[in-house]
Structure 1
Amino acid sequence: MTDNTRGTPAPERLQPSGLVRRFLSRDKTPVSVLFLAALVGLLAGLLATLFEIGVHWVSEQRTEWLRDVISSVFPLWLVAFMISAGLALVGYFLVHRFAPEAAGSGIPEIEGAMDDMRPVRWWRVLPVKFIGGLGALGSGMVLGREGPTVQMGGNLGRMVSDIFRLKDKEGRHALLASGAAGGLAAAFNAPLAGIMFVVEEMRPQFRYSLISIKCVIISAIVANIVFRSIKGQHAVITMPQYDAPMLKALWLFLLLGMFFGVFGVIFNRLITLSQDLFVRIHRNDRKRYLITGTLLGGCFGLILLYLPELTGGGIAIIPNATNGDYSISLLLILFLARVATTLLCFGSGAPGGIFAPMLALGTLFGTFFGSVAQLMFPDLGLEPGMFAIAGMGALFAATVRAPITGILLVIEMTNNYDLILPLIITTLGATMLAQVLGGQPIYSQLLLRTIKKEKLRQDNRSDVVNT
């Protein structure tokens, strides 16, 4: 019996094998590339989760070492300085000696690689970024682990392409982007934000096509499943669940966004100035570079001992701020102080990211703004934590210039889906004002800076050869 309308035996069309063949005949995406994207997501999820566990273990070991020394003959402050200095030295040495492209967050390197402007030497970057990142973050410096996981994820994508000898340029590009998405999805337990970060923030470099978007989605899903299977499905940040604010209070969120729009432009400029300052200090000389980084790491060991709120990535400080542990004046002081410590650490070229420090800054100023608004407008029933969540997304949007990613990232990290409208308003205000003021996305600035430095270095080498 045949189906006259189709000319195909009806039982065969209903069989699963027949459906699969029809799907494969219509879908032109190479199945092998999709499987490789899943493999990249698996590896990125494992590496990102191991990196988080490793950073936590190093931090705990540092604390244990300090406890063991309390009753010894050495002063506690000296031991704290030496331990953090030694951990920081590991990160700075590995970066300067083996993989200079592993300095900083590494996200500009992935963007440059997606545009075929930067090399991807995964055999060097992966061990240097992982071990060096453990040292830098474990020392207590104000750095995040999301930048390293994005760079390591992208390098895993290129590693898989090389191992399986993938020649198709579109497929290699898709796997590189997939690794970056998987790294961010696993770092923050935020699969939607991982996907959108590649599509939105990396839009100048990301070659949007059916194969690339499929690979990015598959990688982010697999990486997030790996993370949740090891670390659990709870949100990264434990915060109260807030109800939506009154409609007549939404103008305050727009005002907060405008504050962050101005600050985002200033903050991006300060980052490049801090990098210039450190270049003038160490002059790219290895000894000066290592001494500078080691002393900086040691100083943060002392700060960690006496003012821990000014150290670390800042994720731990977010619940404390939103739960009302700090007064209004202390919130502002912590915000300004962490701006300084963030600039010092990230500007020094240590292998670490700036996502988490930015989220902490957004929380501190957002909570400060919300506390003031609560005092000035008690009839609106406002909670400072609402503005803390909005502030996280706003500062991210103003500096990175990726508002949708900022919204999704904050919602997935805090589980506060009822605040999506004030989040949209705040991030929109921050993004629009930052654009009006002429600010450029931070990662684009850093990529252009890297390319200019590389070109200047090549020109100097040519001059030496010619002479």
Structure 2
Amino acid sequence: MPKSPNFRFFQGGILKHRVTPKIFTTQSDYMVLLGLSAIVGSISGLIVALFEKTINVVADYRIHLFDQLHWPVFITAILIILSGAAIAALGFWLTARFAPEVSGSGIPHIEGALDGLHDIRWWRVLPIKFIAGACTLSSGMVLGREGPSVQIGGAVGRMCAGAAKRYQHATHILTAAGAAAGLAAAFNAPLAGILFIIEEMRPQFRYNITSFKCVTLATLMATIVLRYFHGQQAIMDIPSFKVPPLESLWLFLLLGIIFGVVGIKFNDAVLHLTGYFKRYHRNRLLRMTMTGALFGGIFAFFQLYYPSLAMGGIIHITQFVREPMGLWLLIFLFVLRLVATLGCFSSGAPGGVFAPMLTLGTLLGLAYGTIAAHLFPGLVAEPGIYAVAGMGALFAATVRAPVTGIILVVEMTDNYQLILPLLMTCLGATFIAQALGGSPLYSALLKQSLLNKENRQPAAKDMVKPAASSTATKIE
């Protein structure tokens, strides 16, 4: 029987192939899996492109919905804010009512599925993540669409795996391929999508040459589909900076050390606040809906009057880099967006944290670059370089995936010449974060969700026992 490289089947599957005439061979099965990976990537790219378009259209429509009424500005502003509260509340309600697993970024859910700890109910995840995510993100909340894109891609992979149940690793491979395709389409960064699966999800991803080919093919197709709709330019219109002198690399290492400390504190704050909101919500539908209305109203106000404090921040990064601000204003914006990011992401909203983290890294990196340019004018010609380095550094410190952070940033900004300073910054951030302890953000969130699940099960059993005993007493 012809064999394909590094592809294994269940023993029952091998016997079935031996007795099935002619067409079912391992080589054909191998080609079927590659074909399904291409389909997963294409569908993921299309859905992610539509997801982004839906967010922008809904946000723009909501803001300009009441313009034609020609009411007083004050009344119009109140209506816009109330509409933001309503649409965010709808997103929270849909999540709590139909698919609680889509709360947050969804990346821990995909990691748990790859490890066999979760099942992906794709028929719920796909529509609810799309609709609820579009609601919360378009309301102005400080959330990113990249985490939801990963979960959407993973759900597409799980859906398509239903056509390949007789292949032993098809479900695992196609789920991973879909997740990589989702990230690649969200950032227009195919290499980052591949590396994210290999580096960040390395404890869960079963690597072999076949699974790697499937992930690569899926990201390729997703990127092609996305660029068909959005063009081939980088996602950020940031200037191409000159390569800094070698003598200045120690400044990038120092920046990485700072971000290593910030990353650990950021992860701790996310875990603490996520636990707080879960204890507050206690799976009560009304409380979750009211939380969504509150956050939606607050950030709809910011979206209207202080847009730099609302939304994920990808569109703001270009503005921050191209239009430099004063040092104290940069620090002030960093603190405000830090609080907003922690609150929105930890609240249970169906949205991610990638884009908000990149924005925080940009602000802190710019502030650092401004100070460095003042202290060492001969070494720092353009403070914006440190904004690019800061994007990758915070990602590396929190997610603990330095290579993914480097490639992600250079693909998004088209600054491939900054590989060396990015290496210094991201590796420095990762080493410090590891030295200070703690776990990568998504691994820690997965562990937290599993512990909460275990704690709920004994509680449910304890509630049944007294009921049974009291019934027995009545019968006696």
**What's the TM-score bracket when you normalise by the shorter of the two chains?**
over 0.9
Q: 276-285 or 442-451, which moves further after superposition?
A: 276-285
User: Offset of 1:211 from its aligned partner?
Assistant: 1.5
What is residue 12 of structure 1 aligned with on the other side? none
For 2:348 and 2:166, how far apart are their aligned partners in 1?
A: 34
What is residue 320 of structure 2 aligned with on the other side? 321
| Aligned partner letter, 1:129 | K
| Aligned partner letter, 1:108 | P
**Cα distance, 1:29–1:407 mapped onto 2, change above 3 Å:** farther
Q: What does 1:64-463 align with in structure 2 at a 5 Å threshold? A: 64-68=64-68, 71-72=71-72, 75-162=75-162, 164-463=163-462
User: Offset of 1:377 from its aligned partner?
Assistant: 1.0
For 1:311 and 1:236, how far apart are their aligned partners in 2?
A: 19
For 1:33 and 1:189, how far apart are their aligned partners in 2?
A: 24
What per-residue deviation string (whole Å, max 9, x for no partner) do you get for residues 222-266 of structure 1? 000000011100000100001110111110000000000000000
User: Offset of 1:76 from its aligned partner?
Assistant: 3.3
| Aligned partner letter, 1:465 | V
SS of residue in 2 equivalent to 1:326:
coil
| Aligned partner letter, 1:130 | F
Q: What does 1:7-86 align with in structure 2 at a 5 Å threshold? A: 30-68=30-68, 71-72=71-72, 75-86=75-86
| Aligned partner letter, 1:157 | G
For 2:27 and 2:257, how far apart are their aligned partners in 1?
A: 46
Query: How many residues align structurally?
Result: 443
For 2:108 and 2:193, how far apart are their aligned partners in 1?
A: 16
| Aligned partner letter, 1:143 | L
Contact 1:264 1:395 in 2 (8 A): yes
For 2:265 and 2:54, how far apart are their aligned partners in 1?
A: 34
User: Offset of 1:382 from its aligned partner?
Assistant: 2.3
What is residue 18 of structure 1 aligned with on the other side? none
| Aligned partner letter, 1:64 | H
For 1:27 and 1:378, how far apart are their aligned partners in 2?
A: 62
Contact 1:29 1:211 in 2 (8 A): no
For 1:27 and 1:148, how far apart are their aligned partners in 2?
A: 34
For 1:342 and 1:381, how far apart are their aligned partners in 2?
A: 30
Contact 1:392 1:410 in 2 (8 A): yes
SS of residue in 1 equivalent to 2:169:
helix
Contact 2:248 2:380 in 1 (8 A): no
Task: State the Cα RMSD in Å.
Answer: 1.6
For 2:239 and 2:56, how far apart are their aligned partners in 1?
A: 24
User: Offset of 1:214 from its aligned partner?
Assistant: 0.7
For 1:209 and 1:343, how far apart are their aligned partners in 2?
A: 37
For 2:223 and 2:342, how far apart are their aligned partners in 1?
A: 30
For 1:169 and 1:116, how far apart are their aligned partners in 2?
A: 13
**Cα distance, 1:27–1:350 mapped onto 2, change above 3 Å:** same
User: Offset of 1:310 from its aligned partner?
Assistant: 0.7
User: Offset of 1:70 from its aligned partner?
Assistant: 5.6
SS of residue in 2 equivalent to 1:406:
helix
Q: Structure 1 runs of 4+ off > 6 angstroms?
A: 25-29
User: Offset of 1:455 from its aligned partner?
Assistant: 1.2
What is residue 6 of structure 1 aligned with on the other side? none
- Which residues of structure 1 form unaligned runs of 5+? 1-24
Contact 2:63 2:80 in 1 (8 A): no
User: Offset of 1:73 from its aligned partner?
Assistant: 8.3
Contact 1:171 1:211 in 2 (8 A): no
Q: TM-score, normalised by structure 1?
A: 0.92
User: Offset of 1:210 from its aligned partner?
Assistant: 1.6
**Cα distance, 1:347–1:247 mapped onto 2, change above 3 Å:** same
What per-residue deviation string (whole Å, max 9, x for no partner) do you get for residues 41-77 of structure 1? 0100000100011111111112212534563586233
User: Offset of 1:303 from its aligned partner?
Assistant: 1.6
For 2:190 and 2:460, how far apart are their aligned partners in 1?
A: 44
For 1:242 and 1:392, how far apart are their aligned partners in 2?
A: 15
For 1:166 and 1:415, how far apart are their aligned partners in 2?
A: 40
Q: TM-score, normalised by structure 2?
A: 0.90
